[in-house]
């Protein structure tokens, strides 16, 4: 299981409680950090010029802040596995599409290495899946590059929701205040 941080950490941990391997061992949770480009405070003139040039493009560029590192041998870590990518929300689908794209690149590289190191052997099949707590029902900016995920029934959303702002309890500094606001929002 691969959690997209920070939103995917808690859902991945909860899912792990209900998913087990055939050998009854816990499913490991790996973490990747992906962030959509956001307007950040900039101090130099060059950085201010860059920000001005990219104004209006916020949320269109994904930046890797952390990626997988299993240590050797990585071949046995991704190949032949069912890998579930977990995040809290599928909003624009940009982050999910990027995660699938980059994992697919890694898997393709590992396949080449496997063929070189194990000539004549069949390459173990790797399947990617996606789980989100909420899928916002709206047009997405990007499609998941591996169409077999959607067509093959390996995309799961616990809840389909209209396009509205979502705040999760683990994002609240004050859970009691969060609960009050949540109740007010649900009644309006």
Cβ of 95: how many Cβ atoms within 10 Å? 23
d(CA 124, CA 105) in angstroms, rounded, equals 16
90 has catalytic annotation: no
The average confidence (pLDDT) of the chain is 83
pLDDT on residue 62:
82
Residues in the chain: 188
Q: Which of 87, 90, 91, 146 is catalytic?
A: 91
User: pLDDT of 91-131, one tens digit each?
Assistant: 999 999 999 999 999 999 999 999 999 999 999 999 999 99
pLDDT for the residue 72: 59
Q: In sequence order, what are the residues at sequence separation of 6 or more whose Cβ sits closer than 8 angstroms to the Cβ of residue 87?
A: 3, 4, 7, 8, 11, 95, 96, 99, 130, 131, 132
Position with higher pLDDT, 185 vs 59: 185
pLDDT digits (tens, 9 = 90+) for 16-43: 988 877 777 788 899 998 887 544 444 4
Q: Whole-model pTM?
A: 0.79
Task: For residue 60, give the 3-state DSSP assignment.
Answer: coil
């Amino acid at each position: 299981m691969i959690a997209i941080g920070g939103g995917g950490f808690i859902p991945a941990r909860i899912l792990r409680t209900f998913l087990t391997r055939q050998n009854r061992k816990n499913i490991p949770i790996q973490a990747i950090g992906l962030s959509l480009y956001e307007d950040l405070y900039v101090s130099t003139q060059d950085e201010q010029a860059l920000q001005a040039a990219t104004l209006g493009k916020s949320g269109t560029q994904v930046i890797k802040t952390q990626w997988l590192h299993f240590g050797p041998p990585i071949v046995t870590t991704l190949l032949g596995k069912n890998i579930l990518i977990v995040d809290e929300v599928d909003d624009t689908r940009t982050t999910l599409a990027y995660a699938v794209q980059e994992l697919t690149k890694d898997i393709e590289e590992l396949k080449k290495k496997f063929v070189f190191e194990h000539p004549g052997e069949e390459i173990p099949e790797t399947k990617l899946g996606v789980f989100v707590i909420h899928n916002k029902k709206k047009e997405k900016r990007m499609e998941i590059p591996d169409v077999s995920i959607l067509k093959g029934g390996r995309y799961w959303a616990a809840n389909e929701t209209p396009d509205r702002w979502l705040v999760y309890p683990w994002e609240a500094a004050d859970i009691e205040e969060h609960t009050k606001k949540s109740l007010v929002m649900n009644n309006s």
